[in-house]
Chain A
Amino acid sequence: MSATTEHGTSAAPRERVASALVVDDLHVALGGRPVLTGATLRVAEGELLGLIGPNGAGKTTLLRTTLGLVQPTGGAITVGGRPVRPGRVPVGYVPQRHEFAWDFPVSVAGTVMTGLTGSLGLFRRPRVADWEAVADALERVQMTALAERPVGQLSGGQRQRVLVARALALRPTVLLLDEPFTGLDLPTQELLADLFAGLAHEGRAVVMTTHDILGALDICDRIALLNRTIVAEGTPAQLADDPQAWMAAFGVGPDSALLRVLKAAA
């Protein structure tokens, strides 16, 4: 794995691995207010990166900028060396579950097919190859048996899988997951964590935002702490041993419960 020896700026060893996603000195302002200031991050193919930070740290903004939905005021994001633009660069996006209209009368397979709407283009109907992409995506998240089920009848974990399959239909090299574990029970979280790690280790760069710090330390290859900028990054073992970084990212004192939990995990 491409771990740094110190948190902070990128180190030489990582450049040997192909970086699928490169965030370079990113500055983003929303409504004139700076949200991200000089964030720099590299995610390699085959790597599952956990993006952790307090509410309002800019996690969602970083994801939206990576999708090309927000224009940076400075710096750049490239995917496979190309600047991001909606629908032009293969970035798969898995939004938080509550963003999706689950009461819409559509089947699981129909939902996954909407992941191809942008690439199909106007007035074009899906062809055999497109349905094959949908079948592959459903197979990958083990939802093939439920392909014809209306999405409204699925459990929380199944819904998360459908959203992942929709993102996979485009066969992206980079996958962004926005708080995939929120509101799910632990066994479901574990099954999904296995899925995400598997998706990464097949050669995708997977970025996951989460508030579940222990879960992230358990499954991620690398962790980045975000608060307006990347405060620290490293392997879970490195970061669990670095209370200063967490105090800086979350703005908590040395007697915080967060640090006691980290110490217990280390």
Chain B
Amino acid sequence: MSPLEFLTDLVNPDLAFLPKALAVAVMSSLVCGVVGCYVVLRGMAFIGDAVAHAVFPGLAVAFVVSGNLVVGGTVAGIITAVLVALFSQNRRLKEDSVIGVFFAASFALGIVIIAQAPGYAGSLQQFLFGSIVGIPTSDLYVVGVTGLVVLAALFALHKELVTISLDRESARALGVPVFWLDLVLYVLITLAVVMSVQTIGNILVLALLVTPAATARLLTDRLGVMMALAPAVGGFSALAGVYVSWSWDLPTGGTIVLVLTAAFLGAFFLSPRQGLLARVAARRAERSLSPTLPATGDPR
């Protein structure tokens, strides 16, 4: 299918679900891209994965009682985030163990809850792998507003979040409320995940958080640039992923993540300064110069 045909389908009133799915996928990727910068820089990938799983019982409850999925997922994710933050205060256990306990527990709870719904197997698959059909128009607004809230909070707390990411002890000494800021960051990650779960699915949402930010990190040493590049990579990949998915009738979550991964690999090999190819070229240039230098001593 050519991009032009894709455009035609997007404006086709019979296929109204398609532009909605595209809008939700792109908005989720933009927000996840920005939040994901902290996930990548602070080594929180495991927490991101945990939050993605932790929203599941909330989605299950909302599904069983026919409530709003975004609200249900957010509540469950935040409860888990608070539990992790509180239990992590215990010095004897490292945070990753606490996260491991609670993320498996909430996923287990979700499975038990969703089994109460008749014919749950189909919906389970939708939750796990995402779907582009059946997104109500109201969700468009919920996702848009949630995304704006997350971005506004990140913008407002930028200097505090950078300060605690650099060095927690010094931040505490400056009177910066480290615990509360950690909690806010968990909540923002949760909101970004919940926004994204419907289209991309529970399992793959981690890629939206981590891959665009990791790609951007390979390309820059400036946080501001990274926070602009990551959502750009994410948003473009969402667009391309939905296009590929629609054209070849493939699962949307899968195609978005594969496009993201291609972008990451491209940056890894082709980044002008840190990329593998640039480094190999630099080494070769150095080697071709070395015969002109004295045989002993440091060439630098």
A binds B: yes
Q: How far, in Å, is A188 (CB) from chain B's closest CB? A: 18
Which of B91, B171, B176, B226 lies in contact with A105, CB distance below 8 A? B226
CA distance A103 to B274 in the complex (A): 14
Does residue A150 face the partner (Cβ distance < 8 Å to B)?
A: yes
Given contacts A114-B159, A123-B156, are A104 and B173 in contact (CB under 8 A)?
no
Interchain CA distance A31-B163 in the complex, whole Å: 28
Query: In the bound complex, do residue B160 and residue A117 qualify as a contact, i.e. CB atoms below 8 Å apart?
Result: yes
Identify whether the interface residues of B are mostly helix, strand, loop, or mixed.
helix
The reply on A166 being an interface residue by CB < 8 A is yes
Specify the chain A residue showing the minimal Cβ separation from B155: A123
A106 to B42, CA, bound (A): 13
Q: Which of B126-174 contact A (CB under 8 A)?
A: 156-157, 159-160, 162-163, 165-167, 169-174
Which of B114-122, B192-200, B217-225 touches A?
A: B217-225
B175 A100 Cβ-Cβ under 8 A: no
When the two chains form their complex, are residues A105 and B175 in contact, meaning their CB atoms are under 8 A apart?
A: no
The residue among B91, B166, B173 with the most chain A CB atoms within 10 A of its own CB is B173
Task: Kindly report which residue of chain B lies nearest to residue A150, judged by CB atoms.
Answer: B221
- Beta-carbon nearest neighbor of B177 in chain A: A122
For the complex, give the distance between the alpha carbons of A91 and B170 in Å: 11
A69 and B173 contact, CB distance less than 8 A: yes
Contacts of A110 in B (CB 8 A): 162, 223
Evaluate contact between A106 and B166: CB separation under 8 angstroms.
yes
Contact with B along A94-134 (1 / 0, CB 8 A): 01000111011111001101110111101101100000000
User: Does residue B41 face the partner (Cβ distance < 8 Å to A)?
Assistant: yes
Rounded to whole angstroms, the CA-CA distance of A103 and B176 in the bound complex is 22
Whether a CB of chain B sits under 8 angstroms from the CB of A254 is no
A93 located at the interface, meaning its Cβ lies under 8 Å from any Cβ of chain B in the complex: yes
**Interfacial chain A residues near B217, Cβ < 8 Å:** 105
CB-CB contacts of A147-182 with B at 8 A, as 1s and 0s? 000101100000000000011001000000000000
Within 8 A of A (CB), among B28-62: 41-42
Q: Is A75 in the interface zone, CB < 8 Å from B?
A: no
Give the number of A-B contacts (CB < 8 Å). Answer: 91
> In the docked arrangement, what's the CA distance between A201 and B156, Å?
40
The answer to the question of A260 belonging to the interface, with a C-beta cut-off of 8 Å to chain B, is: no
**How many Å from the CB of A10 to the closest CB on chain B?**
26
Nearest A residue to B217, CB-CB: A105
Q: How far is the CA of A244 from the CA of B198 in the complex (A)?
A: 72
Using known A-B contacts A95-B167, A95-B170, A104-B166, determine if residue A86 contacts B175 with beta carbons closer than 8 Å. Answer: yes
Set A31, A69, A104, A123: member contacting B172, Cβ < 8 A: A69
Give A183 Cβ to nearest chain B Cβ, in Å.
Answer: 17
In the complex the two chains form, is A118's CB within 8 Å of B159's CB? no
Choice from A103, A120, A152, A170 contacting B159 with Cβ under 8 Å? A120
Name the contact of A117 in the complex, choosing from B41, B42, B163, B226 (C-beta under 8 A): B163
Assuming the contacts A104-B223, A105-B226, A107-B222, asked whether A93 and B160 have C-beta atoms less than 8 A apart, the reply is no
Per-position binary interface string of chain B over residues 199-228, scored 1 when its CB falls under 8 Å from any chain A CB and 0 otherwise: 000000000000000000100111100100
Q: Are B165 and A101 in contact (CB under 8 A)?
A: yes
Asked whether B41 lies within 8 Å of A104 as measured between CB atoms, the reply is: yes
A105 close to B220 (CB less than 8 A):
yes
Q: Min CB distance, B91 to chain A, in Å?
A: 8
Query: B residues within 8 Å of A by Cβ?
Result: 41-42, 91, 156-157, 159-160, 162-163, 165-167, 169-176, 217, 220-223, 226
Could you jot down 26 A-B contacts, CB within 8 Å?
A31-B91, A68-B173, A87-B173, A93-B173, A95-B167, A95-B170, A100-B166, A101-B41, A101-B166, A104-B162, A105-B222, A105-B226, A106-B162, A107-B222, A113-B159, A114-B159, A114-B162, A115-B170, A117-B162, A118-B171, A120-B159, A122-B160, A123-B156, A150-B221, A150-B222, A166-B170
Q: 12 new A-B pairs (CB below 8 Å) besides A67-B172, A86-B173? A: A31-B91, A64-B169, A104-B165, A105-B221, A106-B166, A111-B166, A114-B171, A118-B174, A118-B175, A118-B176, A150-B222, A167-B170
Please list the residues of chain A having a beta carbon within 8 angstroms of any beta carbon in chain B: 31, 64, 67-69, 85-88, 91, 93, 95, 99-101, 103-107, 110-111, 113-115, 117-120, 122-123, 125-126, 150, 152-153, 166-167, 170
